Amino acid sequence: MSCRTIALCFTETESAETLARSGAALARRHGAHLMGLFVLPDPYVYPATSIYLTGEIITQIRSGQRDTAQQIEAAFLSAAEREGVTPEWRCLEARLATVGERLCESARAADLVLVARPEHETAARPQEELIRHAGRPVLMIPP
């Protein structure tokens, strides 16, 4: 099997640098295209507090998510540049789907999917969805 496209599925900033370096090195070794994926989750609103949430609060939540996406994108592009591989960055919005579902949609265009192993089992939901539903080999990178 030849790897023409490698997808890096980012789920958190803590593991972004390690995942980006590992993916870029693997892409260089195989002469592959490198695709970075990050999903902005829908803001979760507890029903009991939904009456107190204004548009401004939702805007602040989205702003924080975009800041996170920019940090991850910077780590991804820096690693790709160091290794001399062609990067492609996709920042997606969940839009009523789960983070894992959105990652799977784009990851299906890749030959290999890399994702960071989560520190805590409770944070593993997107990784589980990728393994079960992407239809592509998934390599978990340790932190």
- Nearest CA to 118 among 97, 92, 100, 137? 100
Into how many domains does the chain fold? 1
Write out the residue range of the structural domain in which residue 70 sits. 5-141
Please give the backbone phi and psi of residue 18, each rounded to the nearest 5 degrees, phi first: -65, -45
Write the pLDDT tens digit of every residue in 106-137. 999 999 999 999 887 766 689 999 999 999 99
Q: What is the CATH number of the domain that holds 95?
A: 3.40.50.620
More confident residue, 42 or 17: 17
Write the pLDDT tens digit of every residue in 63-82. 999 999 999 999 999 999 99
